Chain A
């Protein structure tokens, strides 16, 4: 009575074990998983034609952010346009909800597809404007 269910289970195990097409483990980090198109990874700044950020420092992302991780210091240029003099995102507290991307009127801040972001220090998880424009770092 005890043996029969055990054998039944073993049958399934062996079937999976021996069938080479049922292997689903990815050999990370040699191989990487393809993420969904809706994946929300590390943030980056979209660039304008000059290679500068498209951000105009309106402050909406800061206002909408539920975990309060964005700091912006806005500055006005003599011509009247604005740019973020300082832009900080604290990734250690970010919940990657994507509200900032959604609210941005200039499509400047985006959440990329990068999910690998490792550092030795907490302070390195605070991205500034230059980091967000450095695509080698944020790997959108």
Chain B
């Protein structure tokens, strides 16, 4: 419905759900505001946006007044000006004029308004309010109660964007102030900080401050998780001061999580490598970087001559840029001449590809994350979104608030989304996901809620699926998984009825036993409900690190060249041979697990590890340790002296994301620019330069002078990155790879015509009692060890808000063993043992325990065993005893 109205003599047509302020702004009519924020619902506290409406006695706040047909609105008059000036003056009565020492000085909305209205004195007198300084909910934000103008933006932001209601306006009248009433729920995301119009909330991380006009703001992509938030690093005199956002950029719309906003101080850590290190006798001795590079080149040449190319292996990184990973695989494939190259991305994409490619033709996130705003129902499985990908959780909350999204949360652990937010919360036993997913499919089909047209038009083999899922009756599902029958039925009804249903799943599914069967069943679930190639539907595998997608796309795996061109394909080999000018092997290389297995047998003699710390991040640390000990020569390129680097023969200092240019590909397949805001520290240089130099020293110059040159080559040889230029990335703030016409996959049908229901390979969990190791231990991460978790915390800000590691045990299990909250316990698995403190409560189901992998000093990796290509890296059978 459209409505016609007149604002300042201008006839305006707008939709009826708009407010007067929104209608005016759309048409370029300026109304001053202070408390209004486009991301939040109207607050109406500042009274600056008052307008006069003909026939209405008193002026109205335009931000809260909806448009009505044929009203006549005046936005500028003497009366309104007086009201606005008075409103500002009353704010100034109690606002301290400490602009010189206030963080917001120069970008303060109140300052701007006072300047705009030309207020140079306040004639009102009142008792000065001295608000007491009370502790804020997070140590990362400093609260200046006297500067607060009580606009309410922080309260609204905490409620609507992070859904936590931590902040509230406490007391009444003259005594009212902002108070953190539920400090324990605070996620430290800094949303309140970013919306504060004055300097009442300031960044408490860096003591060094810079004004807006002093700092250089560089728009770049966050280097933490794979969501790919756009943020601005504010640098001054070659120091990173703080991080701000632009609402117009990226999928995050100006929001960030605690990692993005505050997890940056490791860049200036004392521990950063400024010089190359070379092993002489037993010790790593600092040396000149050029000398280290030429020594590495010489040694690689020698080993290649002595043992042949296949005695080498390369491990790339999921948090380095596309350009760096591309140049690395080019170096390993052409100069060294082996396909033994992989990265941690394969732990995630191996199961994803194996499960989804036969069914759908692609194993990727099918829709952009912003599609979640349009969903009716979202099933979230095996991922603590608030802890790891808060921006995705924010989207779900937005949809629930504005679009009546109904969340179905599936997690044995109690997470922040499961209580109070979820419509249905199912708590399956670990590794039984295949059963309940198929139970859900059966329930949907038996209720006749499947999308019959879609199935008929786009799929094959539905009858076999129908027959296969017959066995998963709700009773059987309850027996195996422990999910209440009613919950399963409710979930089936919700998801089956949804116009657009999204399926979000994380490492809890991807890293479990029989992950392929579970993921494939999820593919079936999306297919039968017709939720693919549709706005708001889709499969959303949430990837852990910033460039997991990019590393896989760039051919950091033993089977494919960049863009999934098989290494055994003659055409591809010919093309790359011509481009790279060197012979290329046409046989499959070793996968990451095989690389470490072979190295531990002494069959791999030398390894280059670029930007990765497998000793901590790889699931089986004892295997990695053994592998590295058996190597003749190990080069590590990293910005820190990591645990792995400590064992290397040569360590070459790389740089952090703030010091280099390049691109990251986010989990929603969006390629976004990374821009340098700082100069590289000491002698360190970008990883791509290091690889290019080693290659040049070995007699094969690569002729790249900037990351742009590398990207141009990537676009040329990688089909899914084709037709994208570096300039385009700058202009549009990112480009989608794997494009059809829209960023959504399967909108024009499935590759190969139809999607398949494949039930033959679905394995069901084997029920067996494990007497020795009765507990299923699941692991998860909140943030990344390579950034923070060593004994001397590198990211000191994050270290403040994340407690030390502990193991979460159900109280019933703990009672049996006599374990109390806070006791030290010993966790034993077939592969190793650990001791750490326990936390006992009912936030987790009996028989399951949970711990974090993010702390370097607690080596969780040794509990795991990696001996096959698809490693269940999230779950292991264990026993827990009191220490």
The reply to whether the CB of A102 lies closer than 8 angstroms to some CB of chain B is no
Inter-chain CA distance A57–B237, complex, in Å, is 15
Residues of A within 8 A of B207 (CB): 75-77
Inter-chain CA distance A80–B203, complex, in Å, is 12
Given contacts A58-B105, A59-B214, A75 and B209 within 8 Å (CB-CB): yes
- B676 CB → nearest A CB, Å: 21
Q: Counting chain B CB atoms within 10 Å of each CB, which of A59, A71, A72 scores highest?
A: A59
Q: Would A85 and B100 count as touching, CB distance under 8 A?
A: no
Q: Would A82 and B208 count as touching, CB distance under 8 A?
A: no
Residues of A within 8 A of B105 (CB): 58-59
Residue of A56, A62, A72, A86 near B101 (CB, 8 A) is A56
Q: Would B101 and A82 count as touching, CB distance under 8 A?
A: yes
**Which B100-139 residues sit within 8 Å CB-CB of chain A?**
100-101, 105-106
Q: A58's closest neighbor in chain B, by CB?
A: B100
Digitize B207-225: 1 where CB-to-A-CB distance is under 8 Å, 0 elsewhere: 1111101100000000000
Inter-chain CA distance A106–B210, complex, in Å, is 18
- B269 CB → nearest A CB, Å: 18
**Known contacts A58-B99, A73-B210, A80-B142; can you find 14 more A-B pairs with CB under 8 A?**
A56-B100, A57-B209, A58-B100, A58-B105, A59-B106, A59-B210, A63-B213, A73-B208, A74-B208, A74-B209, A74-B211, A75-B209, A80-B144, A81-B101
The reply to whether the CB of B236 lies closer than 8 angstroms to some CB of chain A is yes
The reply to whether the CB of A66 lies closer than 8 angstroms to some CB of chain B is no
- Mostly, the A contact residues are mixed
Residue of B99, B106, B209, B214 near A76 (CB, 8 A) is B209
Digitize A24-64: 1 where CB-to-B-CB distance is under 8 Å, 0 elsewhere: 00000000000000000000000000000000111110110
Residue of A59, A71, A75 near B211 (CB, 8 A) is A59
- B133 CB → nearest A CB, Å: 9
Q: Would B213 and A59 count as touching, CB distance under 8 A?
A: yes
Q: Would A62 and B100 count as touching, CB distance under 8 A?
A: no
Q: Counting chain B CB atoms within 10 Å of each CB, which of A60, A74, A81, A106 scores highest?
A: A74
B: residues with CB less than 8 A from A are 99-101, 105-106, 142, 144, 207-211, 213-214, 236-237
Inter-chain CA distance A72–B237, complex, in Å, is 10
Digitize A92-126: 1 where CB-to-B-CB distance is under 8 Å, 0 elsewhere: 00000000000001100000000000000000000
Q: B105's closest neighbor in chain A, by CB?
A: A58
- B171 CB → nearest A CB, Å: 23
Residues of B within 8 A of A56 (CB): 100-101
Residues of A within 8 A of B106 (CB): 59
9 closest A-B pairs by beta carbon, nearest first, are: A58-B100, A59-B211, A74-B209, A82-B101, A56-B101, A105-B100, A56-B100, A76-B207, A75-B207
Residue of B99, B100, B208 near A75 (CB, 8 A) is B208
- B883 CB → nearest A CB, Å: 38
30 A-B residue pairings within 8 Å (CB atoms): A56-B100, A56-B101, A58-B99, A58-B101, A58-B211, A59-B211, A59-B213, A59-B214, A60-B100, A62-B214, A63-B211, A63-B213, A73-B208, A73-B210, A73-B236, A74-B208, A74-B209, A74-B210, A75-B207, A75-B208, A76-B209, A77-B207, A80-B144, A81-B101, A82-B100, A82-B209, A85-B208, A105-B99, A105-B100, A106-B100
Residues of B within 8 A of A85 (CB): 208
Residues of B within 8 A of A62 (CB): 214
Q: B106's closest neighbor in chain A, by CB?
A: A59
Inter-chain CA distance A58–B142, complex, in Å, is 18
Residues of B within 8 A of A63 (CB): 211, 213
Tally of chain A residues near chain B (CB < 8 A): 21
- B99 CB → nearest A CB, Å: 7
Q: Would A73 and B213 count as touching, CB distance under 8 A?
A: no
- A103 CB → nearest B CB, Å: 10
Given contacts A62-B214, A105-B100, A73 and B237 within 8 Å (CB-CB): yes
Inter-chain CA distance A57–B100, complex, in Å, is 7
Residues of B within 8 A of A81 (CB): 101
Q: B202's closest neighbor in chain A, by CB?
A: A76
- A99 CB → nearest B CB, Å: 15
Residues of B within 8 A of A106 (CB): 100
- B148 CB → nearest A CB, Å: 14
Residues of B within 8 A of A76 (CB): 207-209
- A65 CB → nearest B CB, Å: 12
Residues of B within 8 A of A57 (CB): 101, 209
Inter-chain CA distance A105–B102, complex, in Å, is 13
Q: A108's closest neighbor in chain B, by CB?
A: B100
Inter-chain CA distance A56–B211, complex, in Å, is 13
Q: A55's closest neighbor in chain B, by CB?
A: B100
Residues of A within 8 A of B99 (CB): 58, 105
- B3 CB → nearest A CB, Å: 46
Residues of A within 8 A of B142 (CB): 80
- A105 CB → nearest B CB, Å: 5
Inter-chain CA distance A115–B207, complex, in Å, is 37
Inter-chain CA distance A130–B100, complex, in Å, is 21
Inter-chain CA distance A57–B236, complex, in Å, is 14
- B106 CB → nearest A CB, Å: 8
Residues of B within 8 A of A74 (CB): 208-211
Q: A60's closest neighbor in chain B, by CB?
A: B100
- B34 CB → nearest A CB, Å: 23
- A66 CB → nearest B CB, Å: 15
Inter-chain CA distance A72–B236, complex, in Å, is 10
Inter-chain CA distance A62–B212, complex, in Å, is 12
Residues of A within 8 A of B100 (CB): 56, 58, 60, 82, 105-106
Residues of A within 8 A of B101 (CB): 56-58, 80-82
- B282 CB → nearest A CB, Å: 41
Q: B209's closest neighbor in chain A, by CB?
A: A74
Residues of A within 8 A of B237 (CB): 71, 73, 86
- A88 CB → nearest B CB, Å: 11
Residues of B within 8 A of A77 (CB): 207
Inter-chain CA distance A85–B207, complex, in Å, is 10
Inter-chain CA distance A39–B386, complex, in Å, is 62
- B215 CB → nearest A CB, Å: 10
- A36 CB → nearest B CB, Å: 30
Q: B144's closest neighbor in chain A, by CB?
A: A80
- B564 CB → nearest A CB, Å: 50
Inter-chain CA distance A129–B142, complex, in Å, is 28
Inter-chain CA distance A86–B210, complex, in Å, is 12
- A97 CB → nearest B CB, Å: 19
- A52 CB → nearest B CB, Å: 14
